[in-house]
Structure 1
Amino acid sequence: MAKTAKTAKSLGFYLVIGLLLVGLAGFGATSFSGGTTTAASVGSREITVQDYANALNARLRQLQQITGNPVTMEQARALGVDQQVLSTLVIEATLDDEAADLGLSVGDAEVRDRVIGSPEFAGLDGSFDRETYRRLLQNIGLSEGQYEDQIRRESARTILQAAVLGGVPRPTTYASTLAEWVGQRRSAAWVRVTEDDLIAAPAAPEEGELAAWYDENPDAFTIPETRRISYAWLTPEMLADRVEVTQEELRNLYDQRSAEYVQPERRLVERLVMPDADAAEAARAALDAGETTFETLVTDRGLDLADTDLGDVAEGDLGAAGEPVFAAAPGDVVGPVETSVGPAFYRVNAVLAAQETPFEEVEDDLRAELATDRARRAIEQEVERLNDLVAGGASIEDLAANSELEAGQIDWTEETSDGIAAYDEFRQAAASAEQGGFPELVRLEDGGVFALRLDEVVPPEQPPLEDVRDEALAAFEAARIRAAVIARAEALAEDIRESGTFAVPGREGRVDFGLTRRQFREDRAEGYVDTVFDLSPGEVRVMPTDEGALIVRLEGIRPADTESETVQAEMETVADRTSQSISQDIYQVVVDELQSDVPVRVNDSAIQSVLTQFQ
C-alpha cells in the first residue's frame, strides 16, 4: 500500500513536471566550453553527455511508439524535444542536489528490489537474469554501479517530491460548494410577446420624430470610409480561355494521374505496435482466447484508437502486412506481423472497393488546369516587362493599353469582397495606398498580378435623410414597434406580479423543468439560462428578443443531489483539478527557489555534438 501511494505521488509529480517544461525551457542557464563528457551541471551535480543521449534516445523511442513512425532529430527539434529533455534533466539534477544536501537516500535492499523486479531484466523463465541486466546496461553505456546510483537518486527525488506535494489537503469543501452550485436545477415559466399582442398599433410619428431618431442613430446608416481606386490586373483564369490545349496533352496528363483516377481496393486499417515479440505473442493468445480485445490492447499501451489509425491504405502501403491484411474480413485483427517499428497488430475496419474515373468525366477539369498553369507561366514571363513599364512611370491606363492587363475601378471599403477585392493582397494594398503614390506591380496568390492607384478617399459620412428615407423609415418603424412590444411585455409582467398567476391573454405559457447552468436555450432569448439562474423564486423579468420580448418567472429551485453519481463525480473532478493546481503552484515556488540558489551551466558544444550524432 505504501509503495502504491508513493507511485501515485511520483506520477502526479511527473505530471507537474510536464506542465513546467515550457516555463523552465528558458531557465537562465549560462554556457561554458568544458570537457566533452559533461553536457551540463547543476551545482555539484553533473549531467553527462551519456545521460543526455540516453534520455533523448528514450524520448525518441517513446514518440516512435506513439506515432508508429520513426522520428527524425529534425522533427524532434522542431517540436522542442531536445530542450524538453535537457530541462527535465536539469530539474532532476536540481532535486538531486537538494536531496543530497538534506541527506535523503534509500538502502541497498530497495535498490536490489527495484533491479530484480524490473521486467526488462527478466530472462526466458521470467525471473531476473544478470547477463540480460549487464548486456542492456552496456548497450546504453552504463555500468551496474551507475545504474544503481540512478535508482538511488530517483528514489531520493521521489521522497523529496512527496514531501513537497504530499502535504496538500484535498479542497473538499470548495469542491462540494462548487459541485452543488453547478448541479443546482431550476424550473422557469416563460411566454413570448410579439407585435400581435399589442392592443393597438403605435401612433403615427409626429413631424420631426423620424429626423430626430435618425440623428440619434448615426451608426446604422453611416457609410464607412470609401477609397476610390483605379487598378489594372491579370489572373491566370482571365487568360486561360485564350490558351490552347490539345487532346493529346489532356490524355497524357490523365495517364500521369492514373493512380489518382484508377484506384485499387483499399482498406481502412488501425495498427498497434507492441513493445517486443513476447508481448505480441501473449496478446495474440489473449485475443484468440477471447480474454481481450483490440481496444483493450490499445488502452493497455497508453494510447487512444486515434493514435493507431492509418486511414485508408493500399496493399503495397503495408509491406509484409499487406497480404494478410487484405485477406482479412472487416473486424478481423491480423498479426503480430514484424515491421520496421516492431511487431504489430492490424485491425481491418472496412473494405473500400476499387474505383475508376473515366477520362470524359475529368476532361474539362484537366483542360482548365493545363490552361491555367500555362497562363500562370505566361504571366510570370511578362512580370519583368511590366515592372519595367511601372518603373518607367506608366500609369494604370498605360499598363492596360500596353499589356494584357485589364483596367477597372472600385469604391473599396473594408467590407468589400467582390472581384479583385476578394484577394488579400489587393485588400492590403488598398488599405495602405496613399494618394499621389506611384503604382507598384503586386503578385496575387494564384499567380496573377495587379497595380493600383488611389484616386480619392471619401471619409465616413452619414448621408442626408432624404437619400435614405425609405430605409430609415422602415428601421424607425421597426424600432417603435419593438419598443411598444417591450412596453406591453412590461405591463403584462406587472399583471403577473400582482396576480401571482402566470398568464398572458391569448398566449399559452410554457415551463422549462430542471434547467442546469450548462444548458443552452438561446432559442428562447439571448442569455436566457443565465437570467433564470439570476432570478429569485417567483421573480418576473422581461427579456428583449429579436421578435419582441420574453416574460420569464422562476418557478422553483432544486438543490443538487449530492449523493448522485454525477455530482459526486463533479466533486472528485473539481477536487482533483484544484488540488493539482495548488500542488503545481507550491512546487513552482520550490523549484524557483532551488533554481535561484544553484548555478546551472550548459555545455552547448557537447549538446550539439550529441544532437549531431542523432542526425
Structure 2
Amino acid sequence: MAAKGISRTFVWILMGLLIIGLAGFGATNLGGAFGTVARVGTAEIRTNDYARALQNEIRAREAERGGAISFQQAREMGIPDQVLAQLVTTASFDHEATRLGVSIGDDNLRQQILGIPAFQGIDGNFDREAYAFTLDRIGLTEGEFEDDMRAETARALVQSAVMAGVTVPDAYLETLLTYLGEERDVTWAVLERADLDTGLPTPTEEDLRSYHQGNLPSFTTPETKRITYAWLTPEMIIDTVEVDEQSLRDAYEERIDEFNQPERRLVERLAFADMGAAQTAIAGINDGSTDFETLVAQRGLDLVDVDLGDVAREDLGTAAEVVFAAQAGDVVGPVETDLGPALFRVNAILSAQETTFEEAEPLLRDTLAADRARRVIDSRIDRIADLLAGGATIEDLAAETDMEQGQIDWHSGVTEGIGAYDAFRQAAQAITEDDFPDVEQLGDGGIFAMRLDRVVEPEIQPLDEVRDAVLAGWRQQATVAALTEKAEPLVASLRNGSDFTDLGLDTLDAQNLTRQGFQPDTPREFIETVFGMEQGGVALIEGNTRVFILRLDAVRPPSSDNEELARLRTALRDQSASSMAQDFYQLLATDIRTRAEIEIDQQAINAVHGTFQ
C-alpha cells in the first residue's frame, strides 16, 4: 500500500536525521569486501551504516565525558553491541514494512526530495548538482539515499501505527490517583524522656562495649584522601593591591545612579474605559462604599496585575504631581494616562538616597581591589603552570610564589577552608596518586594545585576515643526502649476503645494528609506509617529520643475539585500512554525479530572494528 499523506515537514525532519546520522562517517567505505554486517529477514544492515552509527555513538559518548574514548574503552562500555542491537531493531521494522507492503511510492518520493532545502539552489528550485554534492559528502549514491529515505519513512509509518492512539484505561488512572490523592486524618501523642516514671539506669562498661560493637558503622571513620595543596585567593593578596583615588572616583561616577536615587513611590494603577467610570470608582472609595482591592477584583484582575513597583516622577508622566503629593495609603485620581483615566494607590514613600563619594569609598575600594586581585592572580597562572610543568612540587610553589601551602584529610563531609570550594571538592573526588599537580581555578577567582599523598582507609574508632558519643547513643537507645515499654499498654488501651484523653495524653492532629505531604517534627516514616494503617487503627513509631502513638481517624478518596489533582491526572495519562506505547514498540520489535531470521556476519563486524584500532 502506498502512503500518500506524508507532510513535507515530516520529510524534512527525516532528511535531517539521515544527514546528521550519516555525516560523521561519509568518507569511509567498507562496502567493497563486506557489503553487509547483518540481515534481518529481507532487511540488510550495510557495513558502512554500522561503521557510521558506531563512530557517531563513540563521538557522542566522548562529548558527554569531555575526553577521547579508545575503541578498547568503547568495547568495555558495550558500545558496539548497543549500536548493533539498535540497528537490528531498526532493520526489524524495515523487514516488517516490506512484509506489509508499506511504501511512499515513486511520485511521492520525488516530490519530497524536490522540496528538501538542502538540495535546492539559490533560486529555491531543485539543483541536481547540490543533490549529488550533498550525497557525495555523506558517502551515499542517489539510489542508496532514496532507498534509505523510503525505508525511513515506511519504518516511521509502521512505528507510528503501533505507538499512536494508545489510551490508558480509566481504572488504571483512578488507581494511581487514589494512591496519590487519598486524604487521611490522624491524631497522635508524643512520649518524651520527661514522661518516664523513673530515670535511666547507669550503663555498665559491658553495656557501652556492646553498644559500640553493635553500631560500628557509626564509629568508623570515612575513607579520606590526604592531600597537600597550594592555593592563592584574592582575599590573601587584597591588602597588597593599590587602588588610586582617580579609579575610585571613576567607579563612583559609573555607579552614580546606584548611589544617588531620587524620591520614589510604590504605586498601583487601575485604568478605566472612560472618565465617568473612574470618577464613580473614586467616589465609592471616598464614601467608603468600596475599596481599591474590590475595584481590582471586579475587573477580573489581581493586585499583581496593577502593581507598578517603585517609580520615580519621570516614570509617571501626567500623574507625577498628584501621586507624589499623596501620602502612603492614599488613592488618588482619576488622571488621564496613556491607558485612559486611572486611579493610583500609593503604598509606600521611598525617600531619596544620596550617598557621597566619601561614604561609598570603602565599598568601591573593596570591589576594585578584589577585581584587581583576581587579575593579578590570572596574570600568574602561566608562570605557576610552567613551574609545575618543569617539575616543581607543591612545596616549591609555596616557596617561590605567593601561594600558601596546606594539607587536608578530605572526604565528602569536609566543608571548611579550601574544602568549601566546589572546584576543589570535584578535583579532590577525582584525584589519584598517579596524577601530577596542575593549576586549577576556584569560584572566587583563586587558584590551587594539589597532590594526593595517600588514601587513608576507614578505621573503627576504639571505644575510649568515642566514649562520649557511645554514651550518648546508649542513652538515646535506652530512652526509646523505656518509652516504648511505657507506650505499649497505652496502645493496647486505644485499640480496645479508649481515647487519648482517657489516658491523660496530650494530642496533636493533622487533617487532609496525602502521600506527598510532610508533617514537621515527626519521624521520617510518619507519612508511610499513616498510609499503611486501617481506619481506626493505632500504631507506634520510635523516634530518636521520643515515641509517637498514632490513631488513624478518617480515610477519604481524592477531592473531585482539586485543581492540582486534575493537572496530575492529565500528566499521568500522557506519561502512562507514552510508557505503554514504548512497551508496545518493544514487544513488536521482539516479535518481528523472533519471526524474521537474523544473520550476523562477525567477519564483517570485525573488519569494521579493525578500522577503529
Q: TM-score range by the shorter chain?
A: 0.5 to 0.7
The reply on whether 1:509 has 2:503 as its aligned counterpart is no
The answer (yes or no) to whether the contact 2:275–2:334 under 8 Å persists in 1 is: no
Residue 585 (structure 1) shift = 8.9
Give the direction of change, closer, same or farther, for the CA distance of 1:223–1:328 in structure 2 (3 Å limit): farther
Structure-1 residue corresponding to 2:338: 337
In the alignment, does 2:547 pair up with 1:549? yes
Q: Secondary structure at the match of 1:569?
A: coil
SS at match of 1:450: strand
Question: Is it true that 1:324 corresponds to 2:321 in the alignment?
Answer: no
Distance verdict in 2 for CA 1:305–1:378, change over 3 Å: same
Tell me, yes or no, if structure 1 residue 569 matches structure 2 residue 570. Answer: no
Report if aligned partners of 1:517, 1:530 keep a CA contact under 8 Å in 2. no
Deviations 1:583-603 (A, max 9, x none): 99999999xxxxxxxxxxxxx
Matches within 5 A, 1:21-36: 28-30=13-15
What CA deviation, in whole Å up to 9, does each residue of 1:115-162 have, x standing for no partner? xxxxxxxxxxxxxxxxxxxxxxxxxxxxxxxxxxxxxxxxxxxxxxxx
- Contact map agreement 2:243 2:365 (CA 8 A) in 1: yes
Q: Output the CA distance in 2 between the equivalents of 1:25 and 1:429.
A: 46
Paired residue type of 2:230: A
Partner deviation per Cα, 1:86-132 (whole Å, 9 max, x = no partner): xxxxxxxxxxxxxxxxxxxxxxxxxxxxxxxxxxxxxxxxxxxxxxx
Question: 1:217 — aligned with what?
Answer: 215
Which of 479, 491, 495 is the matching residue for 2:489? 491
Q: Which residue of 1 aligns with 2:362?
A: 364
Q: What SS does the aligned partner of 2:460 have?
A: coil
The worse-fitting range, judged by mean Cα deviation, of 435-444 and 242-251 is: 242-251
Q: How does 1:306-321 map to 2 (within 5 A)?
A: 306=304, 311-316=309-314, 318=315
Give 5+ residue unaligned stretches, structure 2. Answer: 1-8, 19-107, 116-164, 283-293, 324-329, 582-613
Q: Please state whether the residue corresponding to 1:477 is helix, strand or coil.
A: helix
Greater CA deviation, 452-461 or 482-491?
Answer: 482-491
The answer as to whether partners of 2:541 and 2:548 remain within 8 angstroms in 1 is yes
**Aligned letter for 1:420?**
I
Check conservation: 1:284, 1:336, Cα contact below 8 A. no
AA of the residue aligned to 1:217 = N
**Aligned equivalents of 1:26, 1:268: Cα separation in 2:** 55
2:403 is matched with: 405
CA pair 399-180 structure 1, distance change in 2 beyond 3 A? closer
Question: Counterpart of 1:233?
Answer: 231
Q: State the partner residue of 1:432.
A: 430
Give the CA deviation at 1:393. 1.0
Taking the aligned partners of 1:587 and 1:232, their CA distance within structure 2 comes to 53
Tell me, in whole angstroms, the C-alpha distance in 2 between the residues paired with 1:472 and 1:580: 49
The secondary structure found in structure 2 opposite 1:259 is: helix
Q: Which has the higher contact order (CA 8 A, sep 6+)?
A: 1
RMSD: 5.2
CA distance in 1 between counterparts of 2:420 and 2:222 reads 18
The equivalent of 2:352 in structure 1 is 354
User: Helix, strand or coil: the match of 2:445?
Assistant: coil
1:541 to partner: Cα distance: 2.1
Q: 1:307 to 1:43 in 2, by over 3 A?
A: farther
| Structure-2 separation of matches of 1:504 and 1:466 | 47
- Note the C-alpha offset of 1:414: 0.9
> Compared with structure 1, are the counterparts of its residues 579 and 286 closer, same or farther at alpha carbon in structure 2 (3 Å cutoff)?
farther
**Gaps in structure 1 of 5+ consecutive residues:** 1-23, 33-40, 49-163, 273-279, 561-565, 591-615
What is the aligned partner in structure 2 of residue 143 from structure 1? none
Q: How does 1:45-84 map to 2 (within 5 A)?
A: none
What TM-score comes out, normalization by structure 2 length? 0.55
Secondary structure of residue in 2 paired with 1:245: coil
CA distance in 1, matches of 2:275, 2:569: 42
The aligned length equals: 419
1:398 is displaced (CA, Å) by: 0.9
Taking the aligned partners of 2:448 and 2:551, their CA distance within structure 1 comes to 61
Q: Aligned with 1:253: secondary structure?
A: helix
User: How far did 1:233 drift?
Assistant: 1.2
1:374 aligned to which of 372, 375, 397 = 372
- Per mean C-alpha deviation after superposition, the further-off stretch among 176-185 and 449-458 is 176-185
Offset, 1:223: 1.3
Amino acid at match of 2:431: A
Partner of 1:474: 472
- Secondary structure at the aligned position of 1:417 is classed as coil
How much has 1:406 moved relative to structure 2? Answer: 1.3
- The separation in 2 between residues aligned to 1:211 and 1:370, in whole angstroms, is 59
Q: 1:255 to 1:502 in 2, by over 3 A?
A: closer
Q: 1:315 to 1:534 in 2, by over 3 A?
A: same
**Contact 1:182–1:516 (CA under 8 A) maintained in structure 2:** no
TM normalised by structure 1 equals: 0.55
2:80 maps to none
3-state SS of paired residue (1:447): coil
Secondary structure in 2 matching 1:394: coil
SS class of match (2:478):
helix
Contact 1:269–1:313 (CA under 8 A) maintained in structure 2: yes
Aligned to 1:451: 449
Give the structure 2 partner of residue 610 of structure 1. none
CA offset digits 1:542-600 (Å, max 9, x no partner): 2223332122335x54879xxxxx96634x9867975897699999999xxxxxxxxxx
Compared CA separation, residues 335 and 483, structure 1 to 2 (3 A): farther
